[in-house]
């Protein structure tokens, strides 16, 4: 059957300055999405936040507890016959991949698009991944827009492809695309009628007997998609100089056009499945074929597998973001253009600015205490991961979301650790993937302490709500998780909730927790100082005359505390910036000379 998908019309009713993520959201809204789900994670966060800005009567949009749950919610909506979208960052797809692999067999029905934002260059992630490899593994098409306009267009087209070929579709963005901003021609919303629930258990229940029949259909679908891509709007041949031709896509296309505007270019809007005939015809028209792509040599390897000579990663790096400079250097290495002139070095050494927790961050005292108690700390993903570096330097491991508690359990079961073992995990991360490992720790009677760092928000990604905040994405009241009750329900007997600003009580609770035989839980509960509102109390100041330059307060790493010009016994005293201090008093509590006091208000 020769399936065709119509090209999304370029409706020029108005142009809006949109980020890539906002353009994706706009495209999804115009495509008639009825359900949108996600777990926040840079660089994908703004997509769902933007979707929540559209009327609630148009679509349901809210955060899920983790990426797999988010995808399962979207799958349920699609199986009920409406268009659904799910968004996440690249490492979130690791969490959601179990559902994706099965859904590839089942199909899409109402239309299902999964937006995954990769992070080349590791700006805010624990690794670099290339989602194109996941698309090939799952057997689902992956679309790769190169700018905000294409992000909008491709999102709408993704739903057309999803329904026409009955497949989930991945839309792959990157940090550079997600956070770029440009004018986007937009149209109006069109909502397809619901198709109703797909009542076909032999398709929607993936037991072995059904899955064996469905797998060949996935392979057949791949062939149909490849034929469609040959003449689709996703494949564009820009004719030029035939000395060499460049196969590229995504944001790499923009770098290529900037550096080699006269070159012949085959721009691919998808890396899977490949339009093989178009690639073969393009390769035959040029003397040399160059592949420019970020991260893995996905296109290069597949083109070579077709028997077509191609050059790629021998010229361009396999790690980090590409740039016009790197593309030019690669083409110069190939002898296809002159190298860029050498840059002039100004011999300026920038001032070191290591990342630190915010002034008054409630996590600071917790990690100061854990270091003071000489514990072995398994950390997790969140703002508090910054406690792994100076000056707090109290986290020993950080693997991925939700790994801390199970890592700590493994350390305890190894029998080789001599220090008290502590797992630290944020409130949103705990709900994301920390509950199963807590159950496992209790089941194995592991001698560990778990510190839930409850600042009442998903702080690292910009202050998003979660089931522990009592609010939805749209700010509506919602049921709120009680962490003490939850921990008791899974078998934890020793639980304490403390305010980390009360340093003495915090130390005592941690001492008791690490002395307890079994799983102990300390809930360090204090709101984030920035979200949802910025907290500002009475600032503190240092009485320089009494400061003995012990520098105990400097161990907090608080950005409001800096060196002063005063010196005592050869060591600099400290001062506090009253404009950024929020008055948490933690520094005053650790000061042995009682020289840190609240700033006295000036009387009128």
Instruction: Give the span between the Cα atoms of 223 and 219, in whole angstroms.
Output: 7
Q: What is the maximal distance between C-alpha atoms in the chain?
A: 86
Instruction: Give the span between the Cα atoms of 246 and 256, in whole angstroms.
Output: 8
H or E stretch covering 397:
none
Reduced DSSP (H G I as helix, E B as strand, rest coil) percent helix, strand, coil of the chain, to 5: 35, 20, 45
Instruction: Give the span between the Cα atoms of 19 and 29, in whole angstroms.
Output: 15
Both tokens assigned to 221: 């679908």
Instruction: Give the span between the Cα atoms of 121 and 24, in whole angstroms.
Output: 22
Q: Which residue, 516, 512, 596, 509, is CA-closest to 554?
A: 596
Instruction: Give the span between the Cα atoms of 20 and 29, in whole angstroms.
Output: 14
Non-local CB neighbours of 279 within 8 Å, separated by 6+ positions: 247, 266, 303, 306, 308
β-pairing, 540-542 with 596-598?
Answer: antiparallel
CB contact at 8 A, 147 and 17: no
Count of C-beta atoms within a 10 Å radius of residue 207 = 9
Q: Which residue, 337, 250, 263, is CA-closest to 295?
A: 250
Count of C-beta atoms within a 10 Å radius of residue 335 = 9
117 carries a ligand binding annotation: no
Tokens 């934002």 — which residue? 117
Both tokens assigned to 25: 């959201």
Both tokens assigned to 331: 């083409």
Instruction: Give the span between the Cα atoms of 473 and 53, in whole angstroms.
Output: 10
Non-local CB neighbours of 197 within 8 Å, separated by 6+ positions: 79, 80, 81
358 carries a ligand binding annotation: no
Tokens 């390897």 — which residue? 301
Backbone angles phi, psi at 231, to 5 degrees: -120, 20
595 carries a ligand binding annotation: no
Tokens 């929020």 — which residue? 582
Q: Which residue, 43, 101, 44, is CA-closest to 68?
A: 101
Alpha helices per DSSP H over 359-502 = 363-372, 404-414, 427-433, 435-443, 483-489
| DSSP β-bridge partners for residue 449 | 422, 520
**Residues contributing to the annotated binding site:** 547, 550, 553, 558, 581, 584, 587, 591
Binding residues for [4Fe-4S] cluster: 547, 550, 553, 558, 581, 584, 587, 591
């Amino acid at each position: 059957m020769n399936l065709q998908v119509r090209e999304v019309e370029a409706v020029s009713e108005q142009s809006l300055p949109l980020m890539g993520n906002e353009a994706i959201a706009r495209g999804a809204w115009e495509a008639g999405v009825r359900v949108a789900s996600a777990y926040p994670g840079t660089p994908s966060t703004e997509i769902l936040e933007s979707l929540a800005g559209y009327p609630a009567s148009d679509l349901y949009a809210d955060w899920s507890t983790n990426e797999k749950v988010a995808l399962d919610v979207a799958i349920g909506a699609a199986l009920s016959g409406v268009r659904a979208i799910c968004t996440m960052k690249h490492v979130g797809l690791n969490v959601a991949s179990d559902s994706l692999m099965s859904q590839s067999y089942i199909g899409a029905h109402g239309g299902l698009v999964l937006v995954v934002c990769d992070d080349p260059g590791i700006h805010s992630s624990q690794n670099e991944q290339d989602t194109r490899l996941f698309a090939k593994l799952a057997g689902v098409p992956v679309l790769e827009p190169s700018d905000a306009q294409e992000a909008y267009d491709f999102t709408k087209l993704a739903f057309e492809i999803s329904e026409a070929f009955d497949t989930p579709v991945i839309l792959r963005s990157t940090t550079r695309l997600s956070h770029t901003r440009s004018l986007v021609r937009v149209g109006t919303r069109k909502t397809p009628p619901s198709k109703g629930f797909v009542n076909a258990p032999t398709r929607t229940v993936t037991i072995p007997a059904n899955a064996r029949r469905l797998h060949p259909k996935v392979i057949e679908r791949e062939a149909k998609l490849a034929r469609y891509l040959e003449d689709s709007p996703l494949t564009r041949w820009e004719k030029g100089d035939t000395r060499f031709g460049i196969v590229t896509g995504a944001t790499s296309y923009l770098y290529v056009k900037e550096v080699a505007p006269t070159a012949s270019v085959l721009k691919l809007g998808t890396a899977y499945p490949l339009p093989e005939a178009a690639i073969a015809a393009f390769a035959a028209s040029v003397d040399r074929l160059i592949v420019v792509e970020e991260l893995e040599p996905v296109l290069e390897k597949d083109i070579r597998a077709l028997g077509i000579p191609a050059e790629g990663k021998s010229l361009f790096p396999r790690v980090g973001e590409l740039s016009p400079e790197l593309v030019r250097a690669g083409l110069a290495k190939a002898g296809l253009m002159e190298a860029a002139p050498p840059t002039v070095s100004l011999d300026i050494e920038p001032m070191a600015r290591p990342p630190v927790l915010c002034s008054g961050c409630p996590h600071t005292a917790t990690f100061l205490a854990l270091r003071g108690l000489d514990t072995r700390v398994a950390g997790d993903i969140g703002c508090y991961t910054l406690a792994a570096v100076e000056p707090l330097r109290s986290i020993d491991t950080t693997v991925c979301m939700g790994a801390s508690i199970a890592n700590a359990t493994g350390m305890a079961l190894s029998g080789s650790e001599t220090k008290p073992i502590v797992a630290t995990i944020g409130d949103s991360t705990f709900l994301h993937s920390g509950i199963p490992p807590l159950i496992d720790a209790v089941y194995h009677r592991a001698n560990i302490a778990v510190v839930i760092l409850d600042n009442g928000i998903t702080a690292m990604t910009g202050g998003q709500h979660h089931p522990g905040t009592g609010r939805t994405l749209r700010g509506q009241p919602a049921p709120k998780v009680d962490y003490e009750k939850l921990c008791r329900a899974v078998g934890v007997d020793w639980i304490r909730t403390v305010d980390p600003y009360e340093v003495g009580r915090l130390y005592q609770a941690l001492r008791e927790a690490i002395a307890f035989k079994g799983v102990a839980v300390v809930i360090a509960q204090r709101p984030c100082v920035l979200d949802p509102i910025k907290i500002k109390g009475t600032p503190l100041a240092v009485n320089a005359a009494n400061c003995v330059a012990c520098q105990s307060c400097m161990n907090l790493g608080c950005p409001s505390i800096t060196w002063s010009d005063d010196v005592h016994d050869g060591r600099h005293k400290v001062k506090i910036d009253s404009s950024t201090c929020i008055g948490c008093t933690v520094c005053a509590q650790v000061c042995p000379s009682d020289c840190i006091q609240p700033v006295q208000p000036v009387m009128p």
